[in-house]
Amino acid sequence: MTVDTAPDLNAASAATEANPFAAGDWATPFGLPPFESIRPEHYVPAFAEALKAHEAEIAQIAGNAEAPDFENTVAALERAGQALDRVASVFFNLTGSTTSPELQAIERAVAPQLARHSSAITLNPQLWARLSAIDPEAEGLNAEQQRVLDRTLTRFRRAGADLAPEAKTRIAEIATRLAELGTQFGQNLLADENGFILPLDGEEDLAGLPPFLRDATAAAAERGGTHSHVVTLSRSLIEPFLVFSTRRDLRARAYEAWTRRGENGGETDNRRLIAEIVALRAERARLLGYDSFAHFRLDDTMAASPDAAMALLRDVWAPALRRAAEERERLQALVRAEGQDFALEAHDWRHYAEKLRRAEHDLDEAEIKPYLPLEGVIQAAFDTASRLFGLRFEEVADVPRYHPDVRAWQVQDADGAEIGLFLGDYFARSSKRSGAWMSAFRSQERLNGDIKPIIVNVMNFARAPRGEPTLLSFDDARTLFHEFGHGLHGLLSDVTYPLLSGTAVSRDFVELPSQLYEHWLEQPEVLRQHARHYRTGEPMPEALLKRLLAARTFNQGFATVEYTASAIVDMTLHLSAAGEDGLDVPAFEADALKRIAMPTEIAMRHRSPHFAHIFSGDGYAAGYYSYLWSEVLDADAFDAFREAGDIFHPETAQRLRRFVYGAGNLRDAREAYTAFRGRLPSIEPLLKKRGLAA
């Protein structure tokens, strides 16, 4: 744990006039933050001033002498806190994508203060009394206003607004401590990821690596400056290394480091943090009247209960386990065919799966990548959005950027009306947390003017050597489409109230727009147009395209098992009420996996000590199942286009935009899906998509 002097967020600023956050609206293109002018020392006074302003706004709303109504209470709450939102959106976007020791120190100080501030609002008895007194029927509220009122009441109630005073005090203490723990978890994980490199200094160490991977490991070494080639713990490097390296000993070392992140002892070990996080979440759930944290989280989701989520996971687990066992036998046979006598292990699976894919489908990852340059895949994502929703994308150069890698596109509707601004940040770097995500510097709404969104997609692709185009694997291309689907969910939002904007939907519905968008990447019509060789511009040969698509369900037993195991462990942990000192994280995880007969040759996609989805914050806690829940939806939803006979069918696309991509949280998730599809989905399209159907 880093020792530092925490910044005093209550300190007065000596240079308010020079602070970019002290100005009104930024006089920058598209109202972007003036990134080049913002320095770490600006955040502490900016947060202090914004918190003070928001506290005054809340006090005015809560103490209003007028009778409570929607306008003077709910709408007033929606208008409040704009200065704080502006500071926080910039700060937390940058702590994820381009952090520094200075920003990390501020983050450790600001996270608990923001938690206390939020608790002071949701646990304010005067404010809760005003909200509870609003009568939607007497006021004649429209559908969107009724939805905002309902979601506001739900938010306050789930934060503890109607608890007894002593319980409220404890709820606030828990929220503050969880903010501290989640921040430390993420920073520990980043430190572990940055603290490991595997040097590849001779030709023997590079055995089996294709040219694109040699280039990527050389580029990674160039940034470090000591070795000729290195493997880091960036997924875009370590996964292809595990696929192609013929050095079994090096694969084992790399895999060990990858799966032991957050579990190496010392200051960055996350196991103690997890035990405390799980205990505090369980305590909070009990205070709110729930049997477990999982029951609390799922009460406000499409699944509605842990039983429903676990039922889906079990329905998928059984066929996935059978499929994985078949795959394991074929891989072990390949090991024997090579004259080896070792038993297949987890660090071998990807390597032999690639060999099997070549044998069964005549498909080589290195053969595919030249047809998937980053630029071409970006354009494929844009063109798909243009054909579905009539959007236009124009790259703009002279705009503020938080890092030189960032690119920006102005987004317009078919009639030229402004939609928003899209930012792309595609390359891995040590200051960026791992993974891929979508976020917003500004969200769409109309309550405070016609506010256009500024959406960012952040990736961690391995950068090609200087002067060469970056080539993507098909999985990388799928990730880009996935995050761009989230991006469209933010860009196309068409609501009045900030609370309902964009991706602010049920956790097990939020992955529908992203996972659905992946389907278009796999369509021959899209690949024929956009999968072109980076040197010649020639389209992917038809024979290769057919082999690529024929292999879509290859290795899906492995992929489904590694994901579903993570989701089951997440849910099992959060159904537990283990105390802070009573939870042995590795033992709990091992026992949970034993009970579901987890194959030893496959590891969870995210082991608990580095499971940032569920421990860097509450985001996906007891909710990692939601990717699979949303996949049931997306597989069924794409069938709507197939049934229409056109993957860009205009009327279907129009319904999709109205009820899914553009609707924010205007409706309950089940109602929204039914409005688009005419019915709720079945699991069969999912099993078919993954090749798991009987």
Could you read off the pLDDT of 293-328 as tens digits, one per residue?
999 999 999 999 999 999 999 999 999 999 999 999
Return the CATH number at 112: 1.20.1050.40
- Please indicate, yes or no, whether residues 106 and 228 belong to a single structural domain of this protein: no
37 and 84 share a domain? Answer: yes
For residue 310, the 8-state DSSP code is H
- For residues 56 and 143, state if they share a domain: yes
Domain count for the chain: 3
pLDDT of residue 7: 59
**Per-residue pLDDT at 366 exceeds 90:** no
Q: Which helix (H) or strand (E) holds 418?
A: strand 418-427
- Does 378 share its domain with 496? yes
Looking at the fold, whether 152 and 217 belong to one and the same domain comes out as: no
Do 153 and 205 sit in the same domain of this protein? Answer: no
Q: How distant is the alpha carbon of residue 6 from its chain centre?
A: 29
What is the pLDDT averaged over residues 623-652? 97
Q: How many CB atoms lie within 10 A of CB 249?
A: 9
**Does residue 535 sit in the same domain as residue 388?**
yes
Sequence letter at residue 559? A
Residue where a domain stops, chosen among 519, 550, 581:
550
From 550, 583, 605, give the residue that closes a domain: 550
> Is residue 245, in this structure, part of any structural domain at all?
yes
Check whether residue 39 and residue 140 sit in a common domain. Answer: yes
At residue 13, the pLDDT reads: 43
Kindly state whether residue 320 falls inside one of the protein's structural domains: no
Amino acid in position 6 = A
How much is the average pLDDT of 436-442? 98
Q: Which whole number is the average pLDDT over 358-374?
A: 93
Question: Where a domain ends, among 218, 237, 260?
Answer: 260
Per-residue confidence (pLDDT) for residue 431, from 0 to 100: 94
Q: Per the domain annotation, does 54 fall within a domain?
A: yes
pLDDT at 675 over 80: yes
Q: What distances in angstroms separate CA 292 from CA 119, 146, 295, 526, one per listed residue?
A: 21, 30, 5, 46
Average pLDDT, the chain: 95
pLDDT at 3 over 50: no
Same domain, 148 and 244: no
- Residue 29 near residue 398, CB atoms below 8 Å: yes
582-588-589-592 Cα dihedral, nearest 10 degrees: -150
Q: Check which CATH number belongs to the domain holding 382 and give it.
A: 1.10.1370.40
For the chain, give the percent of residues with pLDDT over 90.
92
Q: Which residues contact 665 (CB under 8 A, 6 or more apart)?
A: 147, 151, 495, 499, 500, 501, 504, 505, 506
User: Per the domain annotation, does 609 fall within a domain?
Assistant: no
CA distance 486 to 493: 11
Same domain? 243 vs 373: no
What is the per-residue pLDDT across 4-60, written as a single tens digit (0 to 9) for each?
A: 444 555 544 444 558 999 988 899 999 999 999 999 999 999 999 999 999 999 999
What was the pLDDT predicted at 14?
40
- Positions marked active-site: 483
Q: Does residue 311 belong to any structural domain of this protein?
A: no
Domain that holds residue 102: 16-122+124-162
The answer to whether residue 563 sits within a structural domain is: no
Say if 487 falls within a structural domain.
Answer: yes
Q: What percent of the chain has pLDDT over 70?
A: 97
* 74 shares a domain with 24: yes
145 shares a domain with 248: no
Would 72 be classed as within a structural domain?
Answer: yes
